[in-house]
Structure 1
Amino acid sequence: MSDAVPSLRDIPFTDANGAERTLAEFDGPVLVVNVASKCGLTPQYEQLEQLQRTYGDRGFTVLGFPCNQFMGQEPGSIEEILDYCAMTWGVSFPVNDKIKVNGPNAHPLYKALKKTPDHGGKAGRVAWNFEKFLVLPDGTVQRFRPPQKPDDPEIVAAIEKALS
């Protein structure tokens, strides 16, 4: 039996239907985002969905992870969250089960993702809702802080480079 630490892409998480999944199931780049329905940044759902529609047929996937750790801005059940995302923003990308991203009970996927520094060299805690981690098939991660919109040229360029 091996004591090897699982790679980032092999860390299990639970989808909205209760099934266990991993990033390894996705062949292309994945944009992992902690999302919330009652946040000033919630309109980023629209841009996340546009990225999914633009690049999804080329193997790119947005993965939303609802999180209620920032001022209680994601209080609903997973069913309420899914309904809100579909009805308000037309979300077609996978929205997974609610998780914690910070603190001692942070999900293992986020414990691993938070080791990645942003473009300013700062790693550690997720700052707020809609922090974005672009995970490439080789396990390389790029981190984008919440104010940086999903359609920011830097994020779009990173996705396009990963798909080329």
Structure 2
Amino acid sequence: MKDTRTDIVNIADELIRTKGYNAFSYTDISTRLNIKNASIHYHFPTKSDLGVEVIKSTIEQFKVVTDSWNKMDSRTQFKKFVTMHDKTNKKHWLCLMGALSSSVDTLSDDMKKELKKMANTILDYLTDLLAKGKEEGVFSFDTDAKTKAYLVQSSLLASLLLDNVMGDKTYKIIQNGVLEI
């Protein structure tokens, strides 16, 4: 059975990552789904409501994926984390945080709150993973795990942005550098 609500969220997610949050409208979604804008408003009265749901969905997907890695060793989990945007990069998309962060001042307070929650979810996971790996002697870095998590995440986020601009495999170059901890 087709789930229109999920389709709306998935298309909105794609449009945010490809065009930007402020550059798409409900008409872009309704045209692709061959439905009326009113159908989208039924599920998401405001664009902000839709944006919040896209972020929440991404957080949930992140948790499902990272939970599935729990039994893996720290090095394997880190490699999976660093390479998790490979498909995104191949499509020439941005990660959701990168796509929304450039327009954060235009987002509703609810969206800002969820975006911050997403950033913290990712950084908390990565910080814990790096601390565990460092404690086990798997990783070697001079700073504390939280600072390293910020450096890793910002490098990966920037790699997708730069790759879209440069087109010279910047994503892979930065990714390989990040993996050398």
TM-score, scaled relative to structure 1? 0.29
1 or 2, which has the higher strand percentage?
A: 1
**Which structure has more helix as a fraction of its residues?**
2
Q: Which has the higher contact order (CA 8 A, sep 6+)?
A: 1
Q: Which has the larger radius of gyration?
A: 2
